[in-house]
Chain A
Amino acid sequence: MNDSLGHIFIDALLINNFVLCVFLGMCSFLGLSSKFSTAWRMGLSVMFVITVSSVLAFGMNLILVHFHAEYLRIITYIVIIAATVQLTEMFIRKTSPALFRAMGVYLPLITTNCAVLAVPLFQTSRNYSFVQSVVFAIAASGGYTLAMVILSLLRERAELSDVPDLAQGTALTLILAAILSMAFMGFAGMGNGS
């Protein structure tokens, strides 16, 4: 298995895209992608939370392993994520109230986004080093943002077209996501070459 930084980056960003190939963060992917403006904001805040909580989780995992308390891992990680989300919320409210008003509703939702919990879990089970986990976190959340932005642009287009009544709503979004996912399958070949 190739563990170079570049390989980890491309793998998490495109080949095993978190949303379209591993099915993580589906709820917000389907729920918040109707407009481009909300989609990229959500993507950026998820990126921030994932990176910070991945660094914190790496540190906490060292402590847990030292005390042989691995069974506390799930609880610890979810507490770290909830705390990071809370911190982000307070930080944004203090520094830029305008941005806070724009994304206030979406921030608490990040806690129950499985993509955020999956990054610390994956980096632990794959035994990544510190630098590797940071690269992995940035690439995975970048992949999430990428998928989110593409789908939101597709949905803005689909709103203008004439779709049968029956397929309006979630079903149409799912079909769009299926086509997008098929396109991302084309990246699978990139993993075997290196």
Chain B
Amino acid sequence: MNDDQTPVACHGATPASPSPIDAMLAFTNGLWKQNPVFVMVLGMCPTMAITNSVRNAIAMGLATTFVIASSDALISLIRKLVPKQVRIATFILIIATSVTIVDYLVKAISINVYKTLGPFIPLIVSNCLVLERPEAFASKNTVGKSLLDGLGMGLGFTFALTCLGTVREVLGAGTFLGFHVFGPNFEPWVLFLLPPGGFISLAMWLLTFTAWRQWSARRKLQREMAQTVPAVEVAL
């Protein structure tokens, strides 16, 4: 695999032969290395609109995970039958079908969650992340790997939403999943529940992740310089 400096383009180079290590890579890639929100900055609308509480964030993340995984698997199944010119239209139709399923599923499971998520469940269709995965990965890889990639990306998305939701709920309402964290004397910082809080907390998370990545890259460089042997590039 390429290193994490080239975020979007590196999936084309994945070798075609399936092996357990490749499958693991396809899964963990989305969780951390290519995290859809913190690294690729995709799917921003639900990321900021839904994350004013941890519960909503997790529900939205799981709904998106289902959509990505199922449409990835389906698209990979029919990837050799679809002509190149109409592939985007086909992808969108398949995605819209899985979103309709999720819409009714959420309504059946919990009507409260359905009411708070509101129009943002149908809007999963136009989440750029959901269209980007089939285009970049599923249309070139086997069904099993595409399913794993979809699951990894979806869970990475859920993880990022939960991070944001935690910051916003703890600071904005003083609670975590409904439990009080700071005791009765805490004055909630309501700004974090309002729209500007979404922008600010996402900006802070991005800064944290960039700082961490720069620090670890610098440390890696220092370690390689210290060894003085010619650096062995990890081949693809």
Contacts and interface: CB of A to CB of B under 8 A. Distances in A.
Interface of A: 20-27, 30, 71-75, 78-79, 82, 108, 111-114, 116-118, 121-122, 125, 166-167, 170-171, 174-175, 177-179, 181-182, 184-185
A interface secondary structure, majority = helix
A17 to B, nearest CB: 9
Contacts of B195: 20-23, 181, 184-185
Contact of B42 (A21, A27, A117, A178): A27
Contacts of A117: 122-123, 125-126
Contacts of A125: 119
A37 B9 CA distance: 27
A26 B44 contact: yes
Contacts of A170: 41, 203, 206
B103 interface: yes
Nearest to B125: A78
Q: How large is the interface on B (under 10, 10 to 19, 20 to 34, 35 or more residues)?
A: 35 or more
Contacts of B42: 27
Nearest to B93: A75
B104 interface: yes
B199 to A, nearest CB: 3
B115 to A, nearest CB: 12
Contacts of B125: 74, 78, 117
8 contacts: A25-B45, A26-B48, A75-B93, A75-B96, A82-B89, A121-B123, A166-B207, A181-B196
A23 B41 contact: no
Interface in B165-204: 194-196, 198-200, 202-203
